[in-house]
Amino acid sequence: MYREQIDKYIDAHRTEMLEDIIELCKIDSAKGSYRPGKPYGQGCFEVLHEALHIGECYGFSIHNYDNYVGTIDLNNEERQLDILAHLDIVPAGDDWTVTEPFEPVEKDGKLYGRGTADDKGPAIAALYAMRAVKELGIPVKKNVRLILGTDEECGSSDIEHYYSVEKEAPMTFSPDASFPVINIEKGSLHGKFTAEFAKSEALPRMISFQSGTKSNVVPSRAEALFEGLDGSDTEAFAHTLEEELGIRFDVTSENGYMKIEAFGENGHASTPWKGKNALTGLLALIEKLPLAECGQLEKVRALNALMPHGDWLGKDLGIAMEDEISGPLTLAFSILEIDETSLKGEFDSRCPICSNVENTLKPAKKNMKAHGILLSNDSMNPPHHVSGDSEFVQTLLRCYEIYTGNKGECVAIGGGTYVHHLKNGVAFGASMPETENHMHGPDEFAVIDELLKSAKIFAQVIVELCC
């Protein structure tokens, strides 16, 4: 229904749509310092006002929620569908080669620039879906609201502000991921733990250990300082373990101490098997070194027993589990600092639907406590699940199939999206499953045909859910 009209409209407005995306992507909207009236800084303030101006120019009703969130409404009827997108970006970074991050350029069927894929391009695709329905005169009995946030990348406090004054629509999708439909997002246990022990002067000994910068990143580097070890023997021994552990070790001197550095590969905590964890690799090596017995070494052994190198399923912590719908629990040991009298660390566990406080948090606390390590968490972030059999999800899948010819199916992920805490929210688009668009990296791009197709799919969804 209305497919031919929608196709022609979106194709005819290709240039206009890209121009609007480019205008938004020229603005550096990475989160900045708070200013009165500008909760996330100047860039987020500017991009929100520009996006609302674009919507108003096309005849839509707009509203600004204290510069946290802006909304664009299709009509004044009862809300049926919310489309939740964001205009903030991650910092541009270095090593861009095709163009400068805030000088968007079209090349080889792609639109390059920071935010083109995440999430300014998809936001404008959703706006053009609404514009197509409006300007084609398609009779719509209920309202669609495009919600434009400005703090998705740094905690989503924008959406907390919005939903403190507005109710959720009966259905919400966010075009901030990929097709077909992500209807399951695992819960999480962001474990924070500490331990103390007596200082030991016995040699050989470890002076310090350091690894990790963010809890949701598998660390690619770790280092430790030692006193009283033979450098040449240690270096030779470390190299014998490199193949087994998949980690490279460098042994050098620093300020009279011996330093061991471990090098692996970064990965996201939701897929820890894709990285090579330098933290756990170095811990595995340290336990095998001829260090003097002490409380610190006991705790190193305890950590190796609880979260050993290569165990990303939480087996040795006693929390391994999985279910048919959302898959297995995963765990990434991501941050650790050790000095002469204490340690503190963090792990990031992504937990399936079957996981809860009783079978995950409490066993983890108990098993760590048995080794003299205190896990301070008292709660978990629950999983998110919208039934794949619901009329809402089935409609999204059907519209995806109509415009792509591909089989639509529901997907479970370990990460969290903008809709994680919404009762009936799913992620839907705006890139195709096989596309790697360098999101968050240099040379981020959106495939132009995918943006156009997304706008058509979104328009069809509006027709089927709101007419």
Distances (CA, A) of 439 to 58, 92, 181, 294, 356: 29, 11, 19, 46, 32
Tell me the Ramachandran region of residue 96: left when phi exceeds 0, alpha when psi lies from -120 to 50, beta otherwise.
Answer: beta
The first and second tokens of residue 381, run together, are 């972030």
Q: Which residues are catalytic?
A: 88, 152
Q: Which residues contact 354 (CB under 8 A, 6 or more apart)?
A: 321, 322, 323, 326
- Judge whether 204 and 289 are in contact, CB under 8 Å: yes
Question: What is the distance, to the nearest Å, from the Cα of residue 44 to the centroid of all Cα atoms in its chain?
Answer: 20
The first and second tokens of residue 52, run together, are 């609302």
The first and second tokens of residue 370, run together, are 């048995």
Angle (nearest 5°) at CA 362 between 356 and 365: 135
CA gap 272, 364 in Å, rounded: 19
In 3D, which of 280, 295, 292 has the Cα closest to residue 196? Answer: 295
* Local structure of 109: helix, strand or coil: coil
CA gap 144, 464 in Å, rounded: 12
Q: Identify the helix (H) or strand (E) that includes residue 121.
A: helix 120-135
CA gap 174, 159 in Å, rounded: 12
CA gap 431, 443 in Å, rounded: 16
Q: Which residues contact 39 (CB under 8 A, 6 or more apart)?
A: 66, 67, 68, 150, 151, 158
DSSP category for residue 242: H
Residue with tokens 């030991």: 200
DSSP assignment of 132-190: HHHHTT---SSEEEEEEES-GGGT-HHHHHHHTTSPPPSEEEE-SEESSEEEEE-EEEE
The first and second tokens of residue 451, run together, are 């943006």
Pairing mode, strands 177-178 and 171-174: unpaired
Residue with tokens 């300020």: 255
Torsion of CA 133, 137, 141, 146, to 10 degrees: 30
